[in-house]
Each structure stands twice: as structure tokens, then as C-alpha cells.
């Protein structure tokens, strides 16, 4: 988006906000605590102002306020198995960064307990110099940090089967966005001397499942990272401590956690995770392999499923947009089920392969409404409807659902899944 487009977009937002806000004061203040407390107790001192506060937190690692105890990852039900994960509470987040304690989990054989002093990374195959790196070796290389999203390719999959999930977290919670810090993989591969015949790489994890995926060398030499830190601290155990591969924009299963081995070869290895799983099943029963980049997508998080609008008046519609194929160029919002669309404002920063926060002013008149968002990325791809996704892929498809998510607002203000 050009500077002129950004200014135009901002002016449009401000103009819409002013129109929507013409009666904000009348609607909001009439029901506000300010209007109800104009008596003698208006400036009464609260009890917590009259006492000494607590000193340092215990335990020493900082925790959220006790009043935020419900902002947690959603665990699967029934009881978790090894092949499981947890989901990020997207509807409760602000900005674009997911706190480490809320980043979604996905693991296939539990979380291994790895001593970083003993962990090794082996690089072999079509290289001139097969090498073994310790964590001490890896952190001595020049590092870099990037803000990128991470999304499981099975995110939103149940919606393809018209499931009855209710919240953003339940439907889209296999998605997070972090600052990732590590070493550019190409730097280390160059130390080993990549042979010209190497076209694919096999990445293997040290977990009990020995997770393995085949990855094109073009990606490995482009923006792949060997990550050891996340949001300013060392990786959490469930996120791959002490070392994971990170492939910006690619489906999460390929960013192998607990990375122990990279082997270079001439063709893909046809592992379990790219044959019997993580493929797109077509109508004729054949499966399409190697759909790597996550396609353009967005979701409204405020207001969204299981929330309730308490009164008529002004609300800011907000949510996330992202694409594995580049930057988000534009997000449009509809409040009438897709009959008409208006452009939302993108909150800075707008970063390649990152979540982007969008905002849109809305004056709710108390009538039923259906809220939707659709994103457009820098490659020109437009987020499709569910019908378009199924038509393009097939009714058998399970992974890579990037369809528009509708939220239905009832006359009583209750918000539900609009599928």
C-alpha cells in the first residue's frame, strides 16, 4: 500500500468514525458509570487506594492479573492424548503479538525434556562437509529476529464439515504470531557446503514421533530460520526448546520442533506427514501434496462468537488478517452478510507473513446483522467464501481452509457462528 493510499484509507476511517460517532456520546454516556455516579460518591476513594499494595510477585516469573485468569489456551476435550494441541484465545488478544504462554500447541508424541547442553543438530546428505552443531555453536552465529505468524494447516478445518464450534478460539485458535529469533539457516548450510544437486531437505525432530518433513531447498536457502528464542526469551518446551526450524508463511507442521537433523537430497522423502496426512484430498480420491504456503485469510475477533452486545450504538469491529504469500494489502468488512463491503483500516505495522490488526467503525441499530471480513494480499489473492473453497478443492478437503468467517448478531445482541 502506497503512502497516499494509507492516508486516504486513514481519512476514510476517520470520516466513518465521525459519522458513526455523531451519536456515540448520547448512546454510550447514557448507560455509563460516569452518568450514574454524579452524586456525592462520585469522587469516593476506592479501598485499594487506601492500603499498601503487594511487593514483588511470587513466583518470580511474572504472571497476568488474577482478573485475567480466563484468558488461557483452550485444551482439547475429552482428555488430551499425545496427538493433540491447545488453542490460542485470539478474541482476548490486543495488538498482533501472542504472549508465549498463549501460543497454540501441536505435538504428536508429547513434549520431550531436552537438555540444551547435550542437544545436537546434524546436517548431512548432499553437502561437502557433514557437520554436527551444539547449541553453543549455533548461538554464536549472527542472529536475526522476525515477526511472523504460525498457523496449523488444520486450523478452521472443522468448519469445512459444518461443525458447530462457537468461538474464535475453538474455530481459528491454531494460530499465533511471535517475534522469532535465531540464525538464518542458509548461513549454517553454507558452512557445510551445499552441493548443486541438492533440491530438497529432510527436517527431523527429536520428539518421540521423530517428526519429519520434506522441504524445498529454495525455502531453506531463502528465509528459513533456526530458532532458539521467541518473544525475547528462550523457546518454551512445547514450542521446540532448545531449537526449532521456522519457515515463515508455511504450514506449521513443517516448522519442525526439537530439531535434531537436516539431510539434503534430490527429491522429497514421502514421509507419513506428507502422504497420509497434510495433503488435500480431491473429489476423485487423489491427494494433492505439498501445499506449503498458508493462503490469505482473516477473521473478526471483536465482536465474535459467544459475545453479547449490551446495547445499541457504536462498536469497533476488529480482527486479524494474514497470508503466507506476502503482506496484507487490504481488508474489507461487511455488516450485512456480504451484500456490501467497506474498507477497514490496517493498524501498523503491516509486516510480510505476519498477523495484521484491522479496525472498522460500526453503529449497531439493534437489528440482526451478519459480520464478515475478507482480506487481499500483496499477490492479489482474495479471501474466498466457503462455497468457493469447496468448489476449488472438493468436499473431501480438510486442510488449508481460508474461507470467510461469518458471525451472526441477533436482535438481543448475542453473537454466534454464522455458518
How far is the C-alpha of 191 from the C-alpha of 266, rounded, in Å?
20
pLDDT at 29: 45
* Owning domain of residue 388: 297-417
For residue 54, name the pLDDT band (cuts at 50, 70, 90): confident
- Mean pLDDT (whole number) for 85-99: 96
Displacement of CA 230 from its chain's centroid (Å): 14
Calculate mean pLDDT across residues 204-213: 96
pLDDT of 85: 82
Q: Which residue has the cell 468514525?
A: 17
Q: Which residue has the cell 532448545?
A: 242
Task: Please determine, for residue 191, whether its predicted confidence score (pLDDT) is greater than 90.
Answer: yes
Q: Do residues 256 and 309 share a domain?
A: no
Which residue, of 219, 250, 283, is where some domain finishes? 283
Has residue 18 been placed in a domain? Answer: no
Confidence class for position 30, pLDDT limits 50, 70, 90: very low
Specify the range with the lowest mean pLDDT, choosing from 5-19, 31-45, 82-96, 210-224.
5-19
Does residue 143 lie in a domain region?
A: yes
The answer to whether residue 345 scores a pLDDT higher than 80 is yes
Q: Could you tell me if 279 and 301 lie in one domain?
A: no
In this prediction, residue 55 carries a pLDDT of 78
Strand-strand pairing, 105-107 and 120-125: unpaired
- Reference 246, options 324, 184, 173, 153; nearest CA is 184
Same-domain check for residues 266 and 383: no
Average pLDDT estimate for 347-369: 98
The pLDDT of residue 399 is 93
Task: Give the pLDDT of residue 48.
Answer: 86
Supply the CATH number for residue 232's domain: 3.90.420.10
39: in domain: no
Q: Where residue 400 sits, what CATH number does that domain have?
A: 2.60.40.650
Task: Say if residue 364's pLDDT is above 80.
Answer: yes
Cell triple for 277: 496426512
- Residue 307 is predicted with a pLDDT of 98
Mean pLDDT score of the chain, rounded to an integer? 91
Check residue 38 and give its pLDDT: 57
What is the chain's alpha carbon radius of gyration, rounded to the nearest angstrom? 24
Query: Which residue, 302, 301, 311, is CA-closest to 413?
Result: 311
Q: Alpha-carbon distance 8 to 375, whole Å?
A: 18
Report the alpha-carbon distance of residue 168 to residue 370 in Å, rounded: 15
Residue 197 sits in the same domain as residue 236: yes
How are strands ordered across the β-sheet holding 415-417? 342-343, 328-334, 369-377, 407-409, 415-417
What count of residues does the chain have?
Answer: 419
What value does the mean pLDDT take over residues 67-80? 84
User: Could you tell me which residues are beta bridge partners of residue 369?
Assistant: 409
Q: Do 297 and 402 meet the contact criterion of CB atoms below 8 Å apart?
A: yes
236 and 328 housed in the same domain:
no
**CA gap 223, 352 in Å, rounded:** 12
Helix (H, G, I), strand (E, B) or coil at 133: strand
What are the b/e assignments for 159-197, b being 16+ CB within 10 Å? bbeeeebebbbbbbbbbbbbebbbbbbbebbebbebeee
State whether 306 and 194 are in the same domain. Answer: no
Residue 40: predicted pLDDT: 63
Residue 16 reports pLDDT greater than 60:
no
With a cut of 90, say whether residue 176 has pLDDT above it.
yes
Whole-number pLDDT of residue 230: 98
C-alpha cell at 200: 530438497
Structural domain includes residue 261 = yes
Residue 267 sits in the same domain as residue 120? yes
Closest CA to 242 of 253, 254, 226, 255: 226
| More confident: 49 or 166 | 166
Last residue of a domain, one of 283, 311, 345: 283
Share of the chain above pLDDT 90, in %: 78
- Residues of the chain above pLDDT 70, percent: 88
Q: Is the pTM of this model over 0.85?
A: yes
Q: Are 82 and 110 in contact (CB under 8 A)?
A: yes
Region 139-161 average pLDDT: 95
The last residue of one of the domains, among 224, 256, 283, is 283
- Note whether 342 and 411 are same-domain residues: yes
Phi, psi angles (nearest 5°) of residue 99: -60, 150
304, 279: one domain: no
Number of domains in the chain: 2
Instruction: Let me know if residue 27 belongs to a domain.
Output: no
Residue range 38-48: mean pLDDT, rounded: 76
- Is the same domain home to 199 and 320? no
At 349, is the pLDDT very low, low, confident or very high (cuts 50, 70, 90)?
Answer: very high
Residues 227 and 344 in one domain: no
Give me the mean pLDDT over the 374-383 stretch: 98
Please check whether residue 135 lies inside any domain of the structure. yes
- Is 121 in contact with 132 (CB distance < 8 Å)? yes
Q: Is residue 271 located within the same domain as residue 341?
A: no
Query: For residue 289, is pLDDT > 80?
Result: yes
Determine, yes or no, domain membership for 29: no
Three-class DSSP category at 107:
strand
Instruction: Kindly state the average pLDDT of the residues 269-275.
Output: 95
Q: Let me know if residue 361 belongs to a domain.
A: yes
Amino acid at each position: 500500500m502506497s503512502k497516499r493510499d494509507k492516508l486516504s484509507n486513514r481519512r476514510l476511517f476517520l470520516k466513518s468514525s465521525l459519522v458513526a460517532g455523531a451519536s456515540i456520546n448520547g448512546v454510550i454516556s447514557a448507560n455509563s458509570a460516569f452518568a450514574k455516579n454524579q452524586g456525592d460518591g462520585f469522587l469516593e476513594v476506592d479501598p485499594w487506594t487506601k492500603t499498601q499494595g503487594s511487593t514483588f510477585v511470587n513466583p518470580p516469573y511474572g504472571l497476568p492479573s488474577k482478573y485475567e485468569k480466563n484468558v488461557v489456551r483452550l485444551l482439547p476435550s475429552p482428555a488430551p492424548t499425545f496427538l493433540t494441541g491447545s488453542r490460542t484465545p485470539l478474541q482476548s488478544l490486543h495488538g498482533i503479538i501472542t504472549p508465549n504462554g498463549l501460543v497454540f500447541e501441536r505435538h504428536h508424541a508429547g513434549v520431550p525434556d531436552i537438555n540444551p547442553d547435550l542437544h545436537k543438530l546434524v546436517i548431512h546428505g548432499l553437502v561437502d562437509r557433514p557437520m554436527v552443531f551444539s547449541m553453543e555453536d549455533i548461538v554464536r552465529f549472527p542472529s536475526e529476529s522476525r515477526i511472523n505468524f504460525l498457523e496449523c494447516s488444520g486450523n478452521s478445518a472443522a468448519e469445512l464439515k459444518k461443525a458447530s464450534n462457537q468461538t474464535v478460539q475453538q474455530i481459528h485458535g491454531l494460530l499465533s504470531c511471535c517475534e522469532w529469533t535465531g540464525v538464518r539457516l542458509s548461513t549454517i548450510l553454507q558452512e557445510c557446503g551445499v552441493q548443486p544437486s541438492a533440491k530438497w531437505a529432510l527436517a527431523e525432530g527429536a520428539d518421540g514421533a521423530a517428526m519429519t518433513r520434506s522441504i524445498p531447498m529454495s525455502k531453506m536457502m531463502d528465509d528459513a530460520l533456526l530458532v532458539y528464542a521467541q518473544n525475547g526469551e528462550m523457546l518454551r518446551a512445547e514450542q521446540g526448546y532448545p531449537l526449532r526450524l521456522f519457515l515463515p508463511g508455511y504450514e506449521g507442521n513443517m516448522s519442525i520442533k526439537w530439531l535434531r537433523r537436516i539431510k539434503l537430497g534430490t527429491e522429497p522423502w514421502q514421509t507419513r506427514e506428507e502422504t497420509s496426512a497434510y495433503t488435500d484430498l480431491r473429489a476423485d480420491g487423489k491427494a494433492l501434496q505439498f501445499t506449503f504456503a498458508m493462503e490469505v485469510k482473516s477473521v473478526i475477533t471483536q465482536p465474535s462468537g459467544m459475545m453479547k452486545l449490551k446495547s445499541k450504538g457504536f462498536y469497533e469491529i476488529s480482527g486479524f488478517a494474514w497470508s503466507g504469500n506476502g503482506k496484507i494489502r487490504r481488508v474489507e468488512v461487511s455488516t450485512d452478510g456480504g451484500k456490501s463491503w467497506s474498507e477497514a483500516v490496517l493498524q501498523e505495522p503491516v509486516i510480510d507473513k505476519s498477523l495484521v490488526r484491522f479496525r472498522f467503525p460500526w453503529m449497531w441499530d439493534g437489528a440482526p446483522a451478519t459480520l464478515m471480513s475478507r482480506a487481499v494480499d500483496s499477490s492479489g489473492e482474495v479471501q474466498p467464501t466457503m462455497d468457493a473453497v469447496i468448489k476449488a478443492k472438493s468436499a473431501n478437503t480438510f486442510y488449508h481452509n481460508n474461507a470467510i468467517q461469518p458471525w451472526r448478531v441477533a436482535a438481543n445482541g448475542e453473537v454466534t457462528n454464522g455458518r
